[in-house]
Amino acid sequence: MATSRNNVRKRGTTWTYYAYVTDGTGKRRQISKGGFATRREAEAARVDALATMANGTWVRPERLTVRDFLVDEWLPTQRPPTLEESTYTSYARNIRLHVLPHIGGLSLQQLTPMDLNALYRTLLESGRQPPGVPPRQHDPATLELIEKLRADGLTWQQVADEVGDRVPELAGITRHAIASLHRRAHQPKPAKKAEPGLSNRTVRYIHTILHAALRDALRWNRVARNVADAATPPPQGSTKRGRPNVWTAEQLGQFLDFVADSPDLPAWLYLATSGSRRGEVLGLKWDDVDLDAATAIMSRQVTMVDHRMVIKELPKTKAGHMILLDAGTVEMLANHRERQAEDKRLLGNG
């Protein structure tokens, strides 16, 4: 609340206006803002400030930076349960990697739509982080050994056992890993041209994060307006995903034949026949499966957050969705449950 005691004074070569407000504790405080080139500019700014005080939209002038607001004030309010843990981690990572290095030092109250437009353009053109450490390369002699053993007619398991015996650092390597090494040696992936910029989809997502943060800054009287409303991110139509590249029935059959002896075969087959997501399959429990009715309820998922496994239950306001299982999947699950029961009997109590 403003009083009539206010004035304009010259300080050095610039002009400063003063006004009085009553804060939330009922105390009367003086506020000021300087740096105006003329008395007229300072008086006009004082009139505007008094008008915003009268209608409740006044924002105290502060030197708060974008970094200080996002890191110290906004992100802590978004921690779970406000956001899902994976969503919060994504927000924090994008702010740290793509926002703070470019506009973190700017004043929050002086941030403009053009600052955001410049940020989006920079990210689109050169926002991608440099690649990390390249994957470990295996000794060419090891690859030659695998090639020779296969040429001698050994199975993948026999090759894995032989390589594990001859190469100490590869002791215990699986036949699947050996087959992958052999395949990559003969069918190396074509080198991809490194794109320097982020995708339209990612930049649009960063805009969504900033818009939400500045919306809260407006609600908390940190800024006078949400400048993200006037910014120009990549249009929504440019962020659509392309058509997914899926396996053919023949390719799926080849894969299932390859993993036929794997203890993870039930998970692979369930994933292939149910249409469920990877995390949903990993989160499935026997209590969710009704083999007599050939149904399963997908009610949780397993995901990774900062390299930690997290089990996400559905919110209490939502119910898991039920899916129908084909006869082959039901038979596979029944056999899998019998094998698990036998393992439990062999292991004993505990």
- C-alpha span between 66 and 105 (Å, rounded): 6
What confidence score (pLDDT) does residue 79 get? Answer: 92
Question: Count of alpha carbons within 13 Å of 166, Cβ hemisphere only?
Answer: 14
What confidence score (pLDDT) does residue 262 get? Answer: 86
Give me the residues of the chain with pLDDT under 70, please: 1-6, 22-26, 54-61, 130-137, 188-194, 315-319, 350
What confidence score (pLDDT) does residue 57 get? Answer: 62
What confidence score (pLDDT) does residue 118 get? Answer: 96
What confidence score (pLDDT) does residue 60 get? Answer: 67
Fold category of 66-128+197-239 in CATH: DNA polymerase; domain 1 (1.10.150)
23: three-class secondary structure by DSSP:
coil
* Reported pTM: 0.64
What confidence score (pLDDT) does residue 3 get? Answer: 41
What confidence score (pLDDT) does residue 334 get? Answer: 93
What confidence score (pLDDT) does residue 218 get? Answer: 92
Domain ranges of the chain: 7-55, 66-128+197-239, 140-186, 262-347
The CATH number for 262-347, chosen from 3.30.70.2610, 2.20.28.10, 1.10.443.10, 1.10.3720.10, is 1.10.443.10
The maximal CA–CA distance of the chain, rounded, in angstroms, is: 98
What confidence score (pLDDT) does residue 4 get? Answer: 39
What is the torsional sign of CA 320, 322, 323, 329?
positive
pLDDT digits (tens, 9 = 90+) for 38-69: 988 888 888 877 777 766 666 666 778 999 99
CB 94 within 8 Å of CB 209: yes
What confidence score (pLDDT) does residue 125 get? Answer: 93
- C-alpha span between 214 and 229 (Å, rounded): 9
Q: How many residues does the chain have?
A: 350
194: three-class secondary structure by DSSP:
coil
